[in-house]
Homo-oligomer: A and B are copies of this chain.
């Protein structure tokens, strides 16, 4: 089975390859009457767009979105919203080597093993280019839950972490790394430049916070809010780990150290800590949702790597093309989009069952 739909009640289906004529998303289940134009979506795509700094791939894609259905007189009608983005700058010739040898770390071998053959141009369907469609769908999701603010940033690149003491929300959009720590941003400039110049690559950890999520959203047991977030984030290209709240660090704490005590507050409970990341039993507690996502280093590197050809012969491959030296950076708007999509879905699921 191929599963290109995500969500249960607020659902989206994406389609398209790296080097096809276009890619897109069909958003189904959106509530009616929401004001929506391309201008609500484009800024989020611009945030993810390649080629905006020397620290991302130099592929030049305007990523202009068109709404083809589901909106009338500027408002959603409750019917499917078809979003399309044309591919403009496909240099298919860059990928001729990829046809002849599997790039380790990429999906090349696995796709061939599954499907018997593959669209090797830029990774075809397995390309991170598909995430543009998610970001477009995520922009619609944000409008479904306007009370929620979803915000992500980069926390480490190549193992070099921000200093939490320097955290400044206003910084995040002031540098090409979505980095909330101005000092770290300077260090990362050198770090990523070095990787780029040497044809190497770096991993990253993205953190994300969603505020304004009311207590009660979440669909136990198998669509728990944290379970859905884990599924959503792990489906992003290059992601290898996901934590909610303290995550792996919690596994080293005692029960006392990990407790999130409560006190009576003005509007429901006031929590004295948030080790749990705003989720208990798979249901939102009303605290900020906090999660962290690990991106592996971009698999495309200039250093030749041992590999095999589709017919099984030994080969080496060095990936030239135009690549992100740190694919995690452009993961920031994608993580935000996936979190927004999960929350929109959970909002409708909750309203459906619990009124």
User: Which single member of B11, B228, B263, B280 contacts A231 (CB below 8 Å)?
Assistant: B228
Using Cβ atoms and an 8 Å threshold, which residues of chain B touch A276? 105, 240, 296
Give which listed residue, B20, B125, B255, B348, contacts A353 with CB less than 8 A.
Answer: B348
Quick one: CB contact mask for A313-334 with B, threshold 8 Å, 1 for yes? 1100000000000001000000
Describe A's contact surface by its main secondary structure: mixed
> B68 touching A307 by the CB < 8 A rule?
no
Contact (A243, B9) CB under 8 Å given A78-B114, A221-B14: no
Report A261 CB to chain B, min CB distance, Å: 4
Asked whether any CB of chain B lies closer than 8 Å to the CB of A118, the reply is yes
Please tell me the number of chain A residues within 8 Å of chain B, measured between CB atoms: 156
User: Can you list, as one digit per residue, whether each of A229-263 has a CB less than 8 Å from chain B (1) or not (0)?
Assistant: 11111110101111111111011111111111111
Q: Could you tell me if B222 and A110 are in contact, using CB atoms closer than 8 angstroms?
A: no
* CB of A350 within 8 Å of the partner chain: yes
Q: Give chain B residues whose Cβ lies under 8 Å from the Cβ of A214.
A: 113
Q: Judging by beta carbons under 8 Å apart, are A263 and B306 in contact?
A: yes
Instruction: Return chain B residues, CB-CB under 8 Å to A159.
Output: 251-252
Name A184-243 residues within 8 Å CB distance of B. Answer: 195, 200-205, 214-224, 226-235, 237, 239-243
B247 near A201 (CB under 8 angstroms)?
A: no
Instruction: Answer whether residue A50 sits at the interface, using C-beta atoms and an 8 A cutoff.
Output: no
User: Could you tell me the distance in whole angstroms from the C-beta of A301 to the nearest C-beta in chain B?
Assistant: 4
Q: Which residues of B contact A204 (CB under 8 A)?
A: 251
Residues on B with beta carbons closer than 8 Å to the beta carbon of A217: 114
Check A264 for interface membership: any CB of B closer than 8 A: yes
By the criterion CB–CB under 8 Å, are A119 and B247 in contact?
no
A203 proximity list for chain B (CB < 8 A): 250-253, 258
Q: Which residue in B26, B69, B109, B282 is a CB contact (below 8 Å) of A235? A: B282
Min distance, Cβ A22 to any Cβ of chain B, angstroms: 5
B215, A226: Cβ atoms under 8 Å? no
Closest 10 CB pairs of A and B: A107-B281, A352-B352, A159-B252, A201-B255, A110-B283, A231-B231, A113-B215, A203-B251, A3-B223, A241-B247
Q: Please, could you name 21 A-B residue pairs with CB atoms under 8 Å apart, sorted by A?
A: A1-B219, A1-B223, A2-B30, A4-B80, A5-B222, A23-B69, A31-B355, A72-B124, A78-B354, A79-B125, A107-B283, A109-B285, A125-B221, A201-B255, A230-B233, A240-B251, A241-B241, A250-B296, A253-B297, A269-B312, A351-B351
